[in-house]
Amino acid sequence: MTVYIVGAGPGDPELLTLKALKLIREADVILYDELIGDDIKELLKKESRAMLVDVGKRSGKHRKKQEEINRLLVEYGRKHEKVVRLKGGDPFVFGRGGEEIEILAENKIEFEVVPGITSAIAVPAYAGIPVTHRRFDPALIFITGKQERERLNWDALARLNATIVMLMGVSSLKENAERLIKHGKSPDTPVAVIEKGTTEKQRVIKGKLSDIAEIAEREKVEAPAIIIIGEVVEVHETVRDYLRNLRTP
């Protein structure tokens, strides 16, 4: 009996790994997140014989709390041969996969982790924004927009010459942009917000750190979205007309 902690990638079913698809087809039970996206949900219905358990979580709309998900993983892990915990992106990039493997280990349940393509890299790539580029900032930082326990050193973050990729940051975009400016980040820093990246509903909204929150509000941007803060955003304008997988107007 094994529980597989599987990354589903950023939303495009063609970005699922071969191993993820194999386990989807073989699983007895699949506990899946909201953020796997509608296309992956449809694939589950077509490709899987498993019992499907929706444990989706999105800001303010939790079907299951993390404690309940942990309990279900242990319960199903003890009863079934193959249990898949299907998570959006990569399980270990702001996905609470680390917490889940700790629970499994504490309960002496064998597990395997199957990495997924994280949206932090894939979504900007689909929009023609390289998260690293020799001409721009020499460092890359991933952060979450949800700072529930205020552990970020905003002063250090704002002053570091690094591209910042923010996940789960739509609802706190205004607050976080103001924090970065307050701590020394230039208000003119280019910012892109990519909504529903790698799907047919993908949109790219651009602005500056000083006005991106206002623009995003005006454009009614919704989660899920990836926020890229840095000069690399400028590449989008140069390449967009020649990028075949760019799905923005």
Cα distance from N-terminal residue to C-terminal residue, the chain:
48
Catalytic residues: 33, 57, 168
Q: Are 31 and 83 in contact (CB under 8 A)?
A: yes
DSSP string, 78-124: HH-SEEEEEESB-TTSSSSHHHHHHHHHHTT--EEEE----HHHHHH
In angstroms, the CA 125 to CA 130 distance is 6
Give φ, ψ of 59 to 5 degrees: -45, 120
> What is the C-alpha to C-alpha distance for residues 33 and 88, in angstroms, rounded to an integer?
7
